[in-house]
Amino acid sequence: MQTVVVAPGEPERFWNRTPFRSYLFNAFSLLLPSGEQFVIRAMEGAAAHLPEGAPLKAEVAQFVREERAHQRAHRLYNAQLARQGYNAVALEARMEGAVQGLEQALDWRERLALAAALEYLTALVSRQALRGGGWLVHDASRQSNLWRWHCEEEVAHHGVALRLLREVGQVSYGRRLGLYVLASLILLRDVACHTWDFFRTDRAQGRLGWLAGVRSVADFGLRHGAGLARMAVGWLGYGLPLGRLAPPAHADLRADVAGIQVRLLQAQDIPRLLVLEHKKWNDGQAASAEAMAQRMAAHPRLCMGAFCPDTGEALASLFLKPISEEQLQRARTWADCAEIGGQGGSQPSRDLFGISLSSISPQGVEAIFAFFFPRALKAGWRQVYLGSPVPGLARWRQMEPHAPVESYVYATHRGAPLDPQLRYYWKKGFKTIVACRADYFPHPESLDYGVVLRGRIPLSSLAPLWRHMPLPWLRGMERCLARML
Ligand SMILES: CC(C)(COP(=O)(O)OP(=O)(O)OC[C@H]1O[C@@H](n2cnc3c(N)ncnc32)[C@H](O)[C@@H]1OP(=O)(O)O)[C@@H](O)C(=O)NCCC(=O)NCCS
Ligand SMILES: [Fe+2]
Ligand SMILES: [Fe+2]
C-alpha cells in the first residue's frame, strides 16, 4: 500500500484512495461539461427527426434533463479543482474549443453516432466505477456521492442514444465504428492529458513526488487488471449490430407506485415544491427556493419527490443528507443538523439526516419510501435520523405545567408514543428517541422542542450483499421493504 502525501487542511485532494485514481475521475470531470453539451445538442438535433408523439421523444427529453444536471454538478466540481490550484479553467476551455470544432466538422447523423459512442464508453467506465471494489471509492464523500449518482444515470440512460441512432440516425457500419474509435481516442487522450497536468501541478507544489506518482499508477494496474480486461471486452462489444446493442427502454430513476410518480428532484421542480412547502409549513418554517436548490446540488440522490401524474402537483417531498456521529452529537438545533456542507473534515458516515419531509398525501410518502429503500440499501446507508416536532406538547403543558417535557415525549399509549407525530414516525420505523431538545426549531405547538429520532434502514446490515445486487432486483423488493418498517 503506498503512502499518499496529503497537505494538512486538504483532506479531499486525493479523495479516491490514491492520487492516480483521484486524477482519473477528476480528469473525466473536466471534459464533462463541454462533452455533455455536445451530446445534448446532438441528441436534441436528432430527436427533431422523430415523428410527432414518438415515445422516444420523451425519453430524449428526460435524458437531456439528466445531462444538464450532470453538467451543473461537474461545473461546481471543476470550480473546486481550480480552487485546489489545478489548471482546470484552461483545460475546460480547451475542451470547449475542441467540441466546437467537432460540431462544425460533422453532419447531424455523424454527431449523433459520435454522441452514442461517447455514451456507450461513458456507461462502460461507469459500470466499472460502480462495481464493488472497483475504481471508485464508495464512501460518503461529496465526490464519491456525485460520481455514483452520475455513473448510475449513465448506465441507465446510455441506451437512449443508441435507440435514437437506430431509429433516425442510421450511418453505415464502418462509419459508426470509425466514429467509435474516434470517440475512444478523444477520451483516452484527454483523460491522459488532464491526469498528467494534475500530476505536474502536485509535483510542482511539492505534494507528490515521481516515485509516489509512479507507484500510484502501478498500484492501479496491478489491482485493477481484471477490471481493465473486462473493459477491453466491453469495448469490443460495440462491434455488435445496433439492434443487439441498444438495451430496451426502462425508466430506472422513476418509480410509479399506485399511479404516483416518484423521482429524484431537479431544480425545475422547485416552484411546485414551494407550493407544497407553503401548504404544510408557515412562512417562518418553510424552506426557501435557495435552500432547496442547495440541498439538491449537494446531495442530488438524497432529494426526492412524489408527483401526481395528471396534474404534476407535488404530493410529498423528502430531503436527506449524510450526517456524521460527530455532527449529530454537536448539533443543538435542527439548523445545525440540516446545514449543508457541515460534514466537512469528519469521518465519512453511513448515516443520513432527514432534513425535511412534507406531504399532502400519505400515499405520496409511502411511494417515496418505497422508491428510496432499495436505493438506500444499494448505496450502503444504514440509519436515518430526523428531528420531529411534538405538536401535542403545548396542549399537554397546559394540563401539566410543572412536569418535565421528557415525561410527555416518552409517554406511550398501548405501546406507541402519545404524541401524534411521534406516533406517525414510530409507525414508519423511527422507534428510537435519541434526544429531546429545547429551542430546536420554531414550532409553537411543540413549544419549539424537537425530538431526534432514529430509524434503521431494513436489512441494511447486509450492505455488502446489496451493493452487488442489481437495482432492478432490489426494486422488486420495494413493497416488501416498505412493509417491514
Ligand atoms: C408529517 C407529514 C409529512 C405526514 O404526512 P402524511 O404521510 O401525508 O400523513 P397525514 O398528514 O395524513 O398524517 C398521518 C397521521 O399522522 C398524524 N400526524 C402527523 N403529523 C402530525 C402533526 N403535526 N400533528 C398532528 N398529527 C400528525 C396525523 O394525526 C395522522 O393520523 P390519522 O391517520 O390518525 O389522522 C405531513 O403532515 C406534513 O407535511 N406535516 C408538516 C411538516 C412536518 O411536520 N414534517 C415532519 C417534520 S420534518
Ligand atoms: Fe452525464
Ligand atoms: Fe449520458
Domain with CATH 3.40.630.30 in the chain: 254-484
Average pLDDT score over residue span 196-202: 93
Is the distance from the beta carbon of residue 357 to the nearest atom of ligand 1 less than 6 Å? yes
Instruction: Provide the 8-state DSSP code for 333.
Output: S
Residue 344 has pLDDT above 90, yes or no: no
Q: Which residues are registered as beta bridge partners of 245?
A: none
pLDDT tens profile 118-140: 999 999 999 888 876 778 888 77
CA–CA separation, 274 and 287 (whole Å): 8
| Alpha-carbon gap, residue 160 to 63, rounded angstroms | 7
Residues of the chain with CATH 1.10.620: 19-245
Q: What is the pLDDT of residue 467?
A: 61
Nearest CA to ligand 1 atom 37: 359
Which residue, chain included where needed, has cell 421523444? Answer: 57
Largest CA distance in the chain: 84
- Distance from the Cα of residue 183 to its chain's centroid: 26
Inter-residue contact 17 to 137 (CB < 8 Å): yes
Strand partners, 314: 307
**Gap from CA of 162 to ligand 1 centroid (Å):** 45
The pLDDT tens digits of the residues spanning 399-411 come to 999 999 999 999 9
For residue 239, which of 180, 286, 307 has the smallest C-alpha distance? 180
- Pocket perturbation via mutation, ligand 1, pick of 303, 384, 421, 445 by most ligand atoms within 8 A of CB: 421
Q: In the structure grid, which three cell numbers stand for residue 465, read together?
A: 450483499
Which superfamily is assigned to 254-484 in CATH? Gcn5-related N-acetyltransferase (GNAT) (3.40.630.30)
- Average pLDDT value for the chain: 86
pLDDT band at 420 (very low <50, low <70, confident <90, very high): very high
**What band does 116 get if pLDDT is binned at 50, 70 and 90?**
very high
Q: What are the cell numbers at 268?
A: 425545475
State whether the beta carbon of 356 lies less than 6 angstroms from ligand 1: yes
Separation CA 115–CA 294 (nearest Å): 30
Residue 9 has what pLDDT?
43
When comparing pLDDT for 32 and 331, which is higher?
32
Residues 418 and 406 sit within 8 Å (Cβ to Cβ) = no
Q: What gap in Å lies between CA 87 and CA 27, rounded to an integer?
A: 11
Check pocket membership of 34 for ligand 1, CB cut-off 6 A: no
Q: What is the C-alpha to C-alpha distance for residues 158 and 118, in angstroms, rounded to an integer?
A: 9
The answer to pTM > 0.85 is no
Which CATH number is associated with domain 19-245? 1.10.620
Residue owning grid cell 486525493: 14
